[in-house]
Amino acid sequence: MKILFAGDASNMHNCLAQQLRNMGHEATVASDGSRWMDTHRDINLFRQPGLLGALRYLRDIKRALPLMTGYDIVEIASPIFLRLKPHRVAKVFDYLKANNRRVVLSAMATDVAYYDACHDGHTYRYSDYMLGNEPSPYVNSAEYIAQHQDNWKQPFMRQHCDHILQGIDGAVACLYEYYAAYRPLLGNCVAYAGIPIDTEALKYRPLEQEPDKVRLFIGIQRDRHVIKGTDRLLAAMKRIHDRYPGITELEVVENLPYDEYTRRMRESHIILDQLYSYTPGTNALIAMAQGLVAVSGAEPEYYDLIGETANKPIVNVSPLIEGDIDEKLSWLVEHRDQLPQMARASRIFVEKHNAAPVVAQRYLDFWNTLL
């Protein structure tokens, strides 16, 4: 099969492309390298700031379009898969649809479908935007304004997303949340695949015995601090460090390239990632593959979707329960003798549910139903 990935986020499409090549397929990634992560791409579509950067970006896209034809599958990263205004993205989308066999959406980022599900009052108990019936801290933050989140309500954005949804042949979700948002819209034309993790490259570092000091790790995305809940997670980490000063250490990193990020986390024992998620995200899964225990999202709906009933190693923290983060971190520190077993279970979990060959096969199985 010949596959083009248009856009990327957190190295997901690049990881899939590498695995598909290993399986004998032809795969091309056209992306901006997940911005500061600087992940591999075959066609570089990184947009520099300013007017000159915008002009060069348009030039690069124009030059790239002839190389983005003749594919069996084009997998776009979101309805806004390029850093362009919606009407320009729509023109590129129409070109890709006209010059390739099938176009599929990777449901892996915020769009109108996910935004509406977050606000409908019944799809989720909590989300980036709502905690029960109340707005989340993100909605009242400078981040929300800076990222133009109100645009998801606007007619021009809704018209664009409708255009994309009417044009795609299907969608593949990487998280439970996106699957839940798209299932009512697309029915059997949406599949769940999960986030691919290169478990061959991310070597497992077994924790042989109870550590003398528990090292807690958190990675911060500077412009997504509040939406990810890392502001609250970091504050809880600091409180736990104050409570257990002799047996805890903190590692806080910010906006690192992918390779350095994975290297920096290796000597830690616990990662904190994504407070408002039902599902462990890329950072948590990368850490788990290396033998860290993840404090993240892992709600019953997620385990039901993936069919996991026995191995549930992710420490699920709820943004709805006051003190839940502190209580669970305290338990981990006080029961650090459990960390070696939890680390082993974490690696086994990722190998079973998120190893790149497993996820890539789910994509292939779904794509084949469309061809």
Name the pTM for this structure. 0.94
Radius of gyration of the chain (CA): 20
- 198-to-39, 108, 145, 282 alpha-carbon distances in Å: 13, 18, 35, 11
Q: How far apart are CA 303 and CA 331, in angstroms?
A: 22
Residue 307: what pLDDT?
97
Distance of CA 229 to CAs 34, 65, 72, 136, Å?
Answer: 20, 38, 39, 10
Would you state the structure tokens that stand for residue 315, as one six-digit string? 């420490």
Task: Report the C-alpha gap between 33 and 29 in whole angstroms.
Answer: 9
How does residue 206 score in pLDDT terms, banded at 50, 70 and 90?
confident
Q: Which residue segments constitute the domains of the chain, with CATH numbers given?
A: 2-196+356-370 (3.40.50), 214-353 (3.40.50.2000)
**pLDDT given at position 255:** 83
Cα-Cα end-to-end distance for the chain = 10
pLDDT digit string (tens) for 214-267? 999 999 888 888 999 999 999 999 999 999 999 999 999 988 888 888 899 998
**Half-sphere exposure in the Cβ direction for 138 (13 Å, CA):** 25
Q: Is the pLDDT of residue 297 over 80?
A: yes
Provide the pLDDT for residue 259.
Answer: 85
Q: For 106-138, what is each residue's pLDDT tens digit?
A: 999 999 999 999 999 999 999 999 999 999 999
Tens-place pLDDT, residues 139-178:
999 999 999 999 999 999 999 999 999 999 999 999 999 9
- Beta-carbon contacts of 59 under 8 Å, excluding residues fewer than 6 positions away, are none
Quote the strand ranges of 136-213, DSSP E.
170-173, 190-192
> According to the model, what pLDDT value does residue 53 have?
95
Strands (E), the chain: 2-6, 26-31, 43-44, 73-76, 102-107, 130-131, 134-135, 170-173, 190-192, 214-220, 248-254, 270-272, 293-296, 315-316
CA distances from 251 to 94, 110, 193 (A): 45, 29, 31
187-198: pLDDT as tens digits = 999 999 999 999
The pLDDT value given to residue 174: 97
